[in-house]
Amino acid sequence: MKIPKPTVKRLAVYYRCLDNMLNEGKTYVSSKELAERLKIKSSQVRKDLSYFGEFGKRGVGYNVKNLIAELKKIIGIDRRWRVVVVGAGNIGRAITNYPGLYKNRFDVIAVFDSDPAKIGLSAGVAGPVKPMSDLKEVVSSKKVEIGVIAVPAEAAQDVAEQLVDAGVKGIVNFAPVTIDVSPEIVVEDVDITVSFKTLAYHLRKYGKNR
């Protein structure tokens, strides 16, 4: 079954919201409540969840714990994933030490940098920064599947190729440039400035209407 990409992203957002609700002590939730919390349409919630069969009971809603367990399986976080980060700058260190990643079952096991001055410095939870020459050995011996690119734009393509060569299957790219890798490698681009630009667009637009 081919799930549209925006649906996959929303499933991740539902998961987060349900996890927050569970912590608040909720046991059942309706699509309406979920939609209100996330400020989307409840028909959208029902449609997205219907891709995966019937979870909800009419009049009762979804069992929060069960829905979380189902979403975990669907998203693929009913297991842990091993991650390496390339780039020990501000962004690389922030990602490495972001508590949400570990909590969501992504383990950053090593951080790499090409700058000799950074090698050996602490990268927080992932231990000391390693040289790029260790990348291949670490990815292979630790069975790492995900690589994070947290280097400047001009270095991103080279790092992408080194990650693929080392054996990662997926890349989260924080560099502000589109990388070109073979189509069986899954790439997720995260451009921090895109969110600011989307905001600017809406601020300007709404500003005019005020």
Q: Given the complex with a copy of itself, which of 7 and 133 has the nearer CB atom?
A: 7
Q: Which is nearer to a copy of itself, 88 or 135 (CB)?
A: 88
Q: Which is nearer to a copy of itself, 124 or 128 (CB)?
A: 124
Report the candidate in 110, 103, 114, 136 with the shortest Cα–Cα distance to residue 124: 110
- The nearer residue to a copy of itself, 62 or 106, going by C-beta atoms, is 106
CB of 59 to a copy of itself, least distance (A): 25
Task: Please list, in sequence order, all residues whose beta carbon lies within 8 angstroms of the beta carbon of residue 184, skipping any fewer than 6 positions away.
Answer: 169
Shortest CB 10 distance to a copy of itself, Å: 9
Residue with tokens 């570990």: 102
Cα–Cα dist 57/71, whole Å: 17
CA count, 13 A, side-chain hemisphere, 57: 5
> Nearer to a copy of itself by C-beta: 83 or 135?
83
Region for 193 from its dihedrals, namely left if φ exceeds 0, alpha if ψ lies in -120 to 50, beta otherwise: alpha
Report the residue number, 17 or 132, with the smaller CB distance to a copy of itself.
17
Report helix, strand or coil for 77. Answer: coil
Point out which residues bind a copy of itself (CB under 8 A): 3, 5-6, 8-9, 11-13, 15-17, 20, 37-39, 74-77, 81, 83, 90-91, 93-95, 97-98, 100-101, 104, 106, 145-146, 153, 169-172, 176-178, 184, 186, 188, 190-207, 210
In the complex, the smallest distance separating the C-beta of residue 58 from a copy of itself, rounded to whole angstroms, is: 26
CB of 190 to a copy of itself, least distance (A): 5
CB of 206 vs a copy of itself, minimal distance in Å:
7
Task: For the beta carbon of residue 100, count every other beta carbon within 10 angstroms.
Answer: 9
Spatial neighbors of 168 by CB under 8 A, at least 6 apart, are: 84, 139, 144, 145, 146, 147, 185
Shortest Å distance, C-beta 154 to a copy of itself = 10
- Residues 85, 107: contact at Cβ < 8 Å? no
